[in-house]
Amino acid sequence: MCRNNMCMCGSTPRLYNADPDPAKGSGTDDGCAARWIASVASNERTEFGDFQTPPSLARLVCGLLGRSGVSARSVLEPSCGEGVFLEEAARAFPEVVRFLGFDIQPHYVEASRHRMASLGRPVSAEVRLQDFFRVDCTELLRQLDEPLLVIGNPPWVTNSHLSRLGSRNVPEKANRDRLRGIDAVTGKSNFDVSQWMIDRLLESMRGRCGTLAVLCKTRVARAALTRAWRDGGPAEAAIYRVDAMLHFGAAVDACLLVCRFQSGAKSTRRCALYSDLNAVDPTGELGYEAGRLVQDPDRYCRVEHLAGGGPHRWRSGIKHDCARVLELRRDGTSYWNGLGQRVEVEDESLFPLLKGSRLARGLTEPDRWLVVPQLSVGADTSRLRDERPRTWNYLESHAERFDRRASTIYRGRSRFSIFGVGEYSFSAWKIAIAGFAKSLRFHKLGLCENRPIVLDDTCYFLPCSGEKEAELRLSLLNHPMAVSFFSCFVFWDMKRPVTAEILHQLDLERLGREVRDASRQCVVG
């Protein structure tokens, strides 16, 4: 397999420069060559999500598994790299009769084989040069003696990042969570390669006797557990926090996910949370309730009567993906775009814009203006030519930028289309929260210079019929009962902790009745 300037056809990587860039030298300068080689190595690491496990961490993991009562007759590592986990598992579990590892990179396969051959005692170990994405996991595990131990550190990279690199080292694409509409073609369909591998392994281990123990991002572990619990899931599960900066030099919230399976055993649908790999007592618990992952299942049981959604529909802000053209700053009476150009458009095309980055900091005054080409999704933007000629001429002058928008949602649409826009976008009163918010604090928005405030697509809002309704909804959403309810679903380590899906879980009418009843009881008391 050859990629760019990296040839992997031999047992070790060979670097070559077929056409040196004269501006960077002839290719013989040692400093230039070293920088170039380092760049290629960095791309290689990025493409394969290559964070090799240090022996000290692998030793900690295997020690933890041994103390937890894990036993094994077969050990599988799907992406074994240098074989550190295979080696430490061989030391920790002497009863194992077969070790099996896979890796797509030849130099890692050779390193793993050498490591297992140097153990000092004979072991039945096989390391295959093979793409694990193409392996039939269920059939593979069927061939291994129980109890099984599937262990390792799958690639820490997303499928969309691999696509941007032009990599062929990607799993088969599918709408894995049966997403609908815009969610199926935007960021919500993105996923980590490690999650794809973990999902397959968890599915293949159902009905078997064994343990899955993998290092991964904490959000990947939660997503994989949620998916597994939908179909029954492991008998037991635990998540141990791992200091990724210490072990990998990566600023990532990481963990060890441990899932134990017993043939015929029902899942508790609970996952204990531990502060580190040496912790004895859990610090918390995850659970699966009413088809959703929740923090602190006991607390959820106390507030679950508030669930159910209701008629109120949360909306996301406007998605446009051409910010340097559409987002303007005002200086006196002049408007300037992100390209440093003075802009003249009709006033009817301009709306005060509040971005999620400001709202997340509790700032509710817009500092930009948005050129809005459509008032509803799918509207014909060519009408602007006659109705708002200055707006049309401005957009036309930047048409190529709009044409370069990468998202597939714009395909087959009018040239200057936007999304997440409708009558609701222009309601005079709104209750809003930023998806990036780090606290559950909702805000009331009114008019700005007699124009409705619009939000970007990192925000969520409830349109309100007037200020009185906005005040009522604001008081309910910031009520301790609502905060307690939402806290069951929000995970603050996520890039976007607050989502419309979470907000829709709360039935505001039920909450209103609950608050009124509590107030009456206080008065009577």
* pLDDT band with cut points at 50, 70 and 90 for residue 191: low
Q: How far apart are CA 293 and CA 501, in angstroms?
A: 12
Least confident of 71-75, 171-175, 314-318, 358-362: 171-175
Q: How far apart are CA 438 and CA 436, in angstroms?
A: 6
The mean pLDDT of 440-451, rounded to a whole number, is 97
Helix H or strand E segment including 112: helix 106-117
Task: Report the 3 state secondary structure along 362-386.
Answer: CCCCCCEEEECCCCCCCCCHHHHHH
The mean pLDDT of 365-383, rounded to a whole number, is 96
Q: Would you say the C-alpha torsion 446, 452, 457, 463 has a positive or negative sign?
A: positive
User: Is pLDDT above 60 for 240?
Assistant: yes
* pLDDT band with cut points at 50, 70 and 90 for residue 157: low
Terminal C-alpha separation, the chain: 77
Task: Say if CB 46 and CB 40 are below 8 A apart.
Answer: no
- For the chain, the domains span 55-157+192-284, 315-520
CATH 3.40.50.150 fits 55-157+192-284, yes or no: yes
The mean pLDDT of 466-476, rounded to a whole number, is 97
Q: Is 68 helix (H, G, I), strand (E, B) or coil?
A: coil
* pLDDT band with cut points at 50, 70 and 90 for residue 264: confident
pLDDT at 281: 97
The mean pLDDT of 191-201, rounded to a whole number, is 88
Work out the angle at residue 179's Cα, subtended by the Cα atoms of residues 174 and 183, and round it to the nearest 5 degrees: 105
pTM, two decimal places:
0.79
Kindly state the percentage of the chain with pLDDT values over 90: 73
β-pair partners for 243: 253
Distances (CA, A) of 141 to 124, 145, 229: 16, 8, 20
pLDDT at 181: 47
